[in-house]
Amino acid sequence: AYVVADPCIKCKYTDCVEVCPVNCFYEGENFLVIHPDECIDCGACEPVCPTKAIFPESELPAQWKEYQALNADLSGKWPNIAEKKAPLPEAEDFKEKQGKRAQLSL
């Protein structure tokens, strides 16, 4: 499955949602996750994310390994999101920032 990592936090552009053929994105306050059992590994979401937050599980950078479990866990708790919406107001400011894990709203 594909995994949403750190760069999405406080941005949530949702371009990924628009292209996913199986609607497997789930939405938190300032982050999106992918349900690992629903993702069909099509790869459509990876290139459209403006923050480059999405990776195939096998290519997830080592410092973001924890996001694999976070996607699995949070996708079972958060509501599905099937349509693109406006990014968060602070998205442009946080787009280039990394190490946002402490700011993830659970």
Note whether 75 binds ligand F3S by CB under 6 A.
no
Q: Which of 20, 33, 54, 88 touches ligand F3S (CB under 6 A)?
A: 54
Per-position x/- string for 44-83, each x denoting binding to ligand SF4 as judged by CB under 6 A, each - no binding: xx--------------------------------------
Shortest spacing between CB 95 and ligand F3S, in angstroms? 8
Residues paired with residue 2 on neighbouring β-strands, in sequence order:
56
Note whether 34 binds ligand SF4 by CB under 6 A.
yes
- Render 12-27 in DSSP notation, one character per residue: ---HHHHH-TT--EEE
Q: Nearest-CA neighbor of 81 among 18, 36, 30?
A: 18
What is the C-alpha to C-alpha distance for residues 72 and 58, in angstroms, rounded to an integer?
15
Find where tokens 């080592």 sit. Answer: 62
Footprint on this chain of ligand F3S (rule: CB under 6 A): 4, 8, 11-16, 32, 49, 51, 53-54
